[in-house]
Amino acid sequence: MKYLFLSFIKFILIINLHSKDNLSDYYSSYIFIKNCNELDSFMYVNNETYQIAKKSIKVIEKQHKKKNPNLDINTEWDKAVKDWKDNYEETFFMLKSFNTYNEEIAGYCKLQLFLLNGVAEENNKNSIEKDF
């Protein structure tokens, strides 16, 4: 039952992001994950999982550039950075200064990981790379 519920949540998140399909939204998820790792690589996002997220964002970026060669990835990145600064930077600064565990942030870190890695996995299913 738990697996079914998680699959349903993943499906809803992917559908929601695909409806917008803005690269800046995926970059925002990545920035959030990166800061979760920097906040505490044991409690929030460990280094191995963070490396997987880095690979995922590269897959997503590549797919977006393939769909739209005129896409300005720097502008998309700047939008994501602005979103981070406007919505989350102060919260993470506070958490770093208090040096305490926050269950809500941990849940959101996992949600962002789930989303980013799920979208990258979907993009990989749609293409098969020539390996010879």
Tens-digit pLDDT string for the chain (132 aa)? 544 444 555 555 554 544 456 899 999 999 999 999 999 888 999 999 999 999 999 999 999 999 999 999 999 999 999 999 999 999 899 888 888 888 999 999 999 999 999 988 887 666 666 676
pLDDT of 77 reads 97
pLDDT of 29 reads 95
pLDDT of 17 reads 47
Place of tokens 């939008």: 79
**Whole-prediction pTM value?**
0.77
The SS3 assignment for 101 reads coil
Non-local (6+) Cβ contacts of 91 within 8 A are 105
pLDDT of 116 reads 93
Place of tokens 């060669």: 69
Integer Cα distance of 111 and 70 in angstroms: 30
Integer Cα distance of 65 and 132 in angstroms: 24
pLDDT of 4 reads 47
pLDDT of 96 reads 87
Check if the beta carbon of residue 128 is closer than 8 Å to that of residue 24. no
Place of tokens 């293409």: 127
